[in-house]
Structures are given as C-alpha cells and as structure tokens.
A and B are shown apart, each in its own frame.
Chain A
Amino acid sequence: MLNWLSQISAITFANLKTLPERRGAALAAAVGIAGVVTVLVGVLSIAEGFQRVLAVSGSPDVAIVLRSGSDTEMNSGLTHDDTRLIADAPGLARNAANLPLASAELFVVINLPKRSTGTDANVPLRGVSPAAFDVRGNLTLLEGRRFEPGKNEVMVGVGAARQFSGLDVGRTVRVGQTEWAVVGVFTAGGGVAESEVWTDAAVLQPAYHRGDTYQAVYAKLISADAFHTFTDALTTNPSLSIKAMRQSDFYAEQSTLLVGFVKGIGITIAGLMAVGALFGALNTMYSSVAARTREIATLRALGFGSSPVVVSVLLESLALALAGGVLGAAGAWLAFDGHTTSTMNWQTFSQVAFAFRVSPALLVEAILWAAMIGVLGGLFPAIRAARIPIAAALRET
C-alpha cells in the first residue's frame, strides 16, 4: 500500500510540476469550471436567500389559521365571529393582561415603484391587531415608532423600505383614495415581514371596504406541542370552517414553488455549462497525457503499476477542477452574497425582499460539481495513460 501511494505521489508530483508548460490549456479548463461554479452558486444563492427569508419567518409555536380550502391569505376570509372563536381556543398563549396572543389580520396588495427600476411592483400591506407584535416576537424598530391604532399610519419592513420608493419615515404614501403616513421602519429577524407594510387592521378594513372581515389569524401557542390541542379544538367546532398550520410549515410551503423553479433553472444552466467544461477538462488531460507519454512509459518500464498512473492523472484533473471550483466559488461569494433584491412570491402575488445567500452548504455543493467535472474529465485520459504500449512509447521523442 505504501509503495502504491509512493508511486502515485511520484507520478502526481511529475504531472503537477509540468502544469506550467501546459498553462494555456490548464487555465482554460480551470476557468471553464470556475464559470460553471459561479453560475451555479449565483443562481442557487437566489433560492437559498429566498428560502431563508421564509424559513426564518416561521416559528413552530405560532399557528396561522385560514378559511378551509385556502392556501394563502390572499384567498382566505374569516368573519369577526370566526376570529373570536379562534382566539378563545385552548393552547393559546396569553399576555400579562390575560388576553390571548392572537392577531386577526388583513392582507392586501398595493402598487409601489421599485427604487431600482421605477416600475410598479406589488407590495403587501398587512392590517394587524394589537397582539401582532407579541405574536411575532421578533419585531424591532429601526427608525421612528409604531403606528397608532385608529390612524392612517404605517410602519414599513426594512426590506420594503430599501426596495421601494416613498417608504421613508416622514413621507406619505397615497394608495387609491387613502393617504398613509410612514411613521417607522422595523426589522423582523430577516423574515418575510420585512418585505411588508403594516398598519392597524381596523383602519385597513374600511379603506378596502372589507367590512368586519379578516383573512387570517396569527396565534402564539403556549408551546409548539400545543398545536394539536389548538387545531383539534378548532376543527371539531362545527361553527368553524378553517384550516390551521404551523407558521413554519406555512412559509416552507410558500417557498417551494419559487425555490423549485429557481433551482431547476440553476441546475439546468450549470448542467449545460458543465458539459462544455467537461470537454475542456478532457482536452486538457488528453494533451497532458500525450505530452508525457514517454515519461509514463518509462515509469511503467521501471515497474510502476497502471493503477497509480490512473489515479495520478485523475488527481491532476481533480486538482485543476478544484482550483477552478474554488476560484468560481470565491468569485460567486464576492459577487452575490448579501446582494439584496426582491422577487414575486407567486403564492401571494407580492414582492418578497431578500438577500442572495451563498451558504457554506452551497459552496460545498458547487465544489462537488467541480470535482465531478474533474473526475469525469480525467477518467478517459487516465485510462488511455494506463494503456500506453510501453515498448513503443519508450522511443517517442
């Protein structure tokens, strides 16, 4: 075994030392692989960023209650009586005044111009009940103050404030016939609420002619385990026709369509580029083997085995690919990580602001892609190297 490793080490050393002589082809192969990795990481970081926003939005001890048959808040509807029955259900946490931590909410979409393009985009405007702040638990004011109940005031998520014009504190936003004063900017732990504009539900209802109806109830549970007690009580109540989900599951489900679409696009593009990079690697490694035919034959003549030759050619190819992979991953990280943008959440038809996220797992995935290209690109040249007819190759000049 030690002999075998020594053989591999000697041949690999010789291979890698001759790389500068083949720097043109080697560089082309590495850059090709770097391109694949950059594109893959770039596109998948969109999915990662979007997924993360929705993942951190959901908590397993918060339930969201919609009308039965609804998948989103957009197509849900609850009466005032429904929300009262939901707030009385067992399993709900209560505040110091013994009031249930349940927020009956409205969800409408307004048009605001994007700062980047000036074109209108759908922005979620959420009407919340006073308990909403305790239900979410992670809202922090960055600037200004909360809206005052009963007034046409809004507070804006930091993502929405960055992405859309007119949402600076002190300004007024006109939506339809109503004007809303922007009084604060908040964060929500990086969650989807940061893409929303919040106001008092009681003010939003008449502004949008919603009467005394709501679309969802967000309810803070005593614990995550209380979810089944809570849902059982609601679903067995004959006067309610609702569905309840954990907030974490609700957002995870919301992210599946877009994340699946973006990942599919990313992997398809990267896959097509990988085919090109694979040919680049094959070309480099074939020329590498051809340039060292006599050296390989000499080593074989001295008694070196064919398997160390195969492994060493693969290692060279792998080294090239990993160099390209690291280059591409570093480039993608520098170019994309933290870049903020917004995109349509197709479940709510509104924009979600998020940051591209180049996670360690994504980098590892990209490096594995590079390694796969390297191994495939080196395999056939390695087999050719091992099959070189020794006697004839020894006399090659």
Chain B
Amino acid sequence: MTTDQSPLIHLTGVDKTYRRGSEEIRVLAGLSLTVQRGEFLALMGPSGSGKSTLLNLLGGLDRPTKGAVEIGGERIDALTDRRLAGWRARHVGLVFQFYNLLPVMTAERNVELPLLLTPLSRAERRRHVATALAVVGLRDRTNHYPRQLSGGEQQRVGIARAIVTDPTLLLCDEPTGDLDRKSGDEILSLLQTLNREQGKTIIMVTHDPHASARASRTVHLDKGQLSAAAPA
C-alpha cells in the first residue's frame, strides 16, 4: 500500500448480488464510497442493509458482482484468490463480533497466527505478539486459553491478533455486539487509541449509536445504498 495522501479506500459503482434459487437478491446497489487514511468510520444500518457484505468486500473476503474496490491504490477485486489471501495477511486486520479465537490455542498462539504467514523467526514472532498483547492490556494473559478469559478479554485478544502484523486497515464487524456496556466501552476506547495514536484506518460495522459516536464519521446503509453521511 502506498503512504501518500490519496484516499485509502475507493469504491466505485459496487453491486453485490446473491442468488437464492431462481431469485436474485441485490445486497449492494451501485455503491460508491471513499475513506481517507486514518479515518475511523462507523457503518450503520438495519439488518440486511448490506453492512457486513460491504465489510467483506473491503476485506477481500468476497468479490463484488460489479464495480471496483480499490484499496491503497490496488484493485483487490481483480486479484486471484491466492494473491488476495496474501494481500489480506499483509494489509488488513479483522475483528469479529464473536472473537473467532481458536479455542485450543492460548492467547499468545492465537495472536501469533497471522505472523505464521510472514518470514519472521520464532523469536521475532514472540516479540511482536508480546507487543500486541501489551497494547491491548493483556500482557499477563498470554498463556490463558479463550475459555479462561472474559468476553472483553477475548475481544482484546482478537484485536491483538488483528494488529500484530501492523496492518493499515482494521475492519471490525460489530466488535462490541457480544459485550456488556463496560467491556464494550473499553474495546471502543482501545479502537480509538489505535486510530489516534497508531494511525490505523478503522471501519466498524455497528448497530449501536453509542459505538458509532466514537467514530470520526458515520455512514448509513439502507437497502444496499448509502443513505446519508454525517460527520461525527
């Protein structure tokens, strides 16, 4: 990814259509969106509005039916599956609503997973993992398994895993959706810190206005189209 001042994300005329039997469901309809580097963007909208589909397109987990998805100057919709997997590993950190940690691995090993895709040595990987866990405040939980951690702690491990490769872009799919208010606030504060102090560009899908209030900009999706954009 380039480091110039051009927008990080540029979506142009993106359509996404799913087929269910003989029926075609148009989830995104000619959507265009630009996100600047260092933005913290909240993506809101009712269920089925296409928020998660949009996030999947931005993360290279899915492809548009039509239109262009350009991130960091690269048309990711044109990459092969193999190159797209490599691109994800290098440039994107993913944070999930249900944390998606591997239950048989300790926090340390879960965080280490994305580093297995890099040429780093074992010692270097350990150092990076320790730093990431320190950033999310879990330095003392390295050898705990997910079942031994609270929901908030598990999400912190998820965030540590997302930032351990130092990606430019963090994509968070309802990161506080499974947490109580207090834990949710802590996670949002952590995301804000990552955005402000480390310059991470964050796109967060949420239903929660309280969460979107922490973002620098909120866009609303309705029936596959951006209905409004309001500055925070």
Using a CB–CB cutoff of 8 Å, the interface residues on chain A facing chain B are 2-3, 6-7, 10, 13-14, 17-18, 294-295, 298-306, 390-391, 394-395, 397
Contacts and interface: CB of A to CB of B under 8 A. Distances in A.
Given A303-B85, A390-B61, A391-B62, A7 B102 contact: no
Contacts of A294: 100
Nearest to B161: A302
Contacts of A295: 100, 102
A392 to B, nearest CB: 9
Contacts, number: 68
B94 A2 contact: no
Contacts of B82: 305
Interface in B74-133: 81-82, 85-86, 88-90, 94, 96, 98, 100, 102-105, 109, 113-114, 116-119
Contacts of B113: 10, 299, 302, 304
A353 B38 CA distance: 86
Given A3-B118, A18-B104, A390-B61, A303 B98 contact: no
A4 to B, nearest CB: 9
29 contacts: A6-B117, A10-B109, A10-B113, A13-B105, A14-B104, A17-B104, A17-B105, A294-B100, A295-B102, A298-B96, A298-B100, A298-B102, A301-B61, A301-B88, A301-B94, A302-B88, A302-B89, A302-B113, A302-B117, A303-B88, A303-B89, A303-B114, A303-B117, A304-B116, A306-B81, A390-B62, A391-B52, A391-B53, A391-B56
Contact of A3 (B53, B61, B102, B117): B117
A306 B105 CA distance: 21
A303 B105 CA distance: 18
Nearest to B63: A391
Interface residues of B, number: 29
Contact of B119 (A3, A17, A391): A3
B59 interface: yes
Interface of B: 52-53, 56, 59, 61-62, 81-82, 85-86, 88-90, 94, 96, 98, 100, 102-105, 109, 113-114, 116-119, 161
A17 B109 CA distance: 13
Contacts of A298: 96, 100, 102
B101 to A, nearest CB: 8
A302 B114 contact: yes
Most B CB contacts (10 A, CB to CB) among A18, A304, A306 go to A304
Given A390-B61, A394-B61, A14 B96 contact: no
A6 B61 contact: no
B98 A3 contact: no
A2 B62 CA distance: 27
B97 to A, nearest CB: 8
